[in-house]
Each structure stands twice: as C-alpha cells, then as structure tokens.
Amino acid sequence: MSKFIKGIIIILGVLGSGNAVMSPLAFLSNQGYAEEFTIPAPAIVNLDTATLNMPGTITVASSGTLQVSTGTITVGNNGNWSNSGTFTPGSSIVQFTGTSHAISGSSTFYNLKCEIPGGTINFEA
C-alpha cells in the first residue's frame, strides 16, 4: 500500500507476501508527484530493475528495507540519502545530480555516481 501526503510517498507495512516489486517509478516535482520517498519499518520495497528518479530525499527508516537488483536510483536537485535500515544494492547504480547532497547512515553502494559539477556531497555518520 502506498500513500501520498503533501508531496511525500510513504510505503506502509510489508507489501504483498513480503516484497513489493515496483517498476517503473518516476517521481518528478514539476509534474506534482512525490518529492520524497520514505520506507518506514517494517516495509520492504524491492525496486528490482526499475529506474527511480527522485527529486528529493530518499529515507530508509530503521527496520525498513530497500532492495534493488540492477536498477538505477537518481537523487536530483538537493535531495539526500538517509539509511537507518537495510539497503541491498545488488548491481544497481545510485547517482546524485544537482548541487548539494548529504548521505547519512550506513550504506554500501555497488555503483555510486556523483554528477554535480561545482556541487558538494557530505558524508555524515
């Protein structure tokens, strides 16, 4: 089940029999879709091979899980990456575009791209 709240998509609970496979996902702020993507506990979201274009922040809360097989996640504008739960990257790409980003929590990326000429990425504990 997903729910839109003031430009934020929040995945609630464990979807289906354990995982939700969502493909394709594209949230673009100029089209009025979600600008933040939050996976709270105990949700498990499997993007599989999907492409997720998120203009804002991606948050994996404690006991939440985000799984990607070979897909691409793009964090645009000044969006951030916050992981207090579990991120399973598979052989995916996570890329940052825009001017200023922060990566917090514990994440292991398979392929991390930073395409932010003149911008900054802060790695926070």
At 41 the pLDDT is 80
Residue for token digits 């404690």?
Answer: 62
| This prediction's pTM | 0.75
- pLDDT reported for residue 34: 59
pLDDT score of 15 more than 70: no
With b for 16 or more beta-carbon neighbours within 10 A and e for fewer, the 45-60 pattern comes to bbbbebebbbbbbbbb
**How much is the pLDDT for 23?**
39
Say which residues have a Cβ less than 8 Å from residue 66's Cβ, sequence separation at least 6. Answer: 39, 45, 47, 58, 60, 83, 85, 86, 87, 88
* 28/101: higher pLDDT: 101
Element (H, E) at 11: strand 8-11
- What is the phi/psi pair of residue 29, to 5°? -60, -35
Structure confidence by residue, pLDDT tens digits, 26-84: 443 344 445 778 888 888 888 878 788 888 889 999 988 898 888 888 898 888 999 99
Cβ–Cβ contacts within 10 Å for residue 35, how many?
A: 19
